[in-house]
Amino acid sequence: MSETKPIVLKIGGSVITDKDGELAARTAVINRLSEEIQKARVENLIIVHGGGSFGHPTAKKYGIKEGLREESQKLGFAETHHVMTVLNGLVMDSLVWHNIPAISVAPSCCVVTENGRIKCFNDAILKSYLRMGFAPVLYGDAVLDEKLGFTVLSGDQLVAHLAMKLAASRIVIGVDTDGLYDADPKLSKNAQLYTNLTLAELKKIQDKLDKSTASDVTGGMLGKVSELIPAVEQGIPVTIVNAAKANRVYKALMREAVEGTIIEKE
């Protein structure tokens, strides 16, 4: 049984899916990331992946995040969860065939939120898997909510929650840009990459971040960063890297120098 503190790795939906397509998985990217994860041999790893062109369009179509208002949305809730399990299946397929003892843990079956915030996380089984050396894999999902009936839980909220609850040593966030910029690098040529940020600096720039990137149902880059603040406050450093580029996730997992943004308490 392992005593090392876990690392929580999030792989964004825009990395493993084509957000312009419909249910469009990037299987070559998923396989490359599995290779990197396998090569890094992290002893205590929790993986969380996003929804991309699987979860987001379906959740949006049925207004799942806003909660239960009419019966017809129930099918939408089921469909949102289902498409996430389809994407998760592709990720699991790749991880397991790369010899990673990965176990899928569905948030819809162990998390309840209240107004969109995690209220209860039944993590006993997840912890047992982790202690035995398995790599639990979770994902952004449609979940039950005590006030709203149901809602969408982002992978980022899950990452911060898990990292804090399990006293993780680090969080690695794999996105489709080189890290955190002062503007959207896809829209602005002069966008500057932040390489190292303290919590105080992060809070200052938070307002400046381009809200136009926050179009997803769960909040884009702005939502991502806000979700991570409580974990950083607890002393858990966050490394944001470009998971669409080879070896960035591997280097981040190995604590090697890597292009990206490191956020630390101070």
Residues forming contacts to ligand IPE in the complex (CB under 6 A) are: 12-14, 50-52, 55-56, 59, 80, 84, 140-142, 152, 154-156, 216-218
Closest approach of Cβ 1 to ligand IPE, in Å? 30
Cα gap 128→135, rounded to integer Å:
11
Q: Which is nearer to ligand IPE, 6 or 155 (CB)?
A: 155
Q: Which is nearer to ligand IPE, 24 or 254 (CB)?
A: 24
Which residues share a beta bridge with 47? 9, 137
7, two tokens:
């690392």
Closest approach of Cβ 103 to ligand IPE, in Å? 19
3-state secondary structure of 25: strand
Which residues share a beta bridge with 261? 240
Cα gap 147→227, rounded to integer Å:
20
Closest approach of Cβ 35 to ligand IPE, in Å? 21
Cα gap 173→218, rounded to integer Å:
16
Closest approach of Cβ 131 to ligand IPE, in Å? 26
Q: Which is nearer to ligand IPE, 32 or 65 (CB)?
A: 65
Q: Which is nearer to ligand IPE, 84 or 263 (CB)?
A: 84
Q: Which is nearer to ligand IPE, 47 or 257 (CB)?
A: 47
Closest approach of Cβ 159 to ligand IPE, in Å? 8
Closest approach of Cβ 147 to ligand IPE, in Å? 18
Closest approach of Cβ 139 to ligand IPE, in Å? 7
Alpha carbon 253 to its chain centroid, in Å, reads 15
Q: Which is nearer to ligand IPE, 123 or 216 (CB)?
A: 216
**Residue 19: partners with Cβ closer than 8 Å, 6 or more residues away:** 13, 52, 53, 56
Residue 122: closest CA among 144, 102, 101, 94: 144
Burial class (CB in 10 A: 0-12, 13-18, 19+), 167: exposed
Which residues share a beta bridge with 14? none
Q: Which is nearer to ligand IPE, 106 or 183 (CB)?
A: 106
Cα gap 175→193, rounded to integer Å:
14
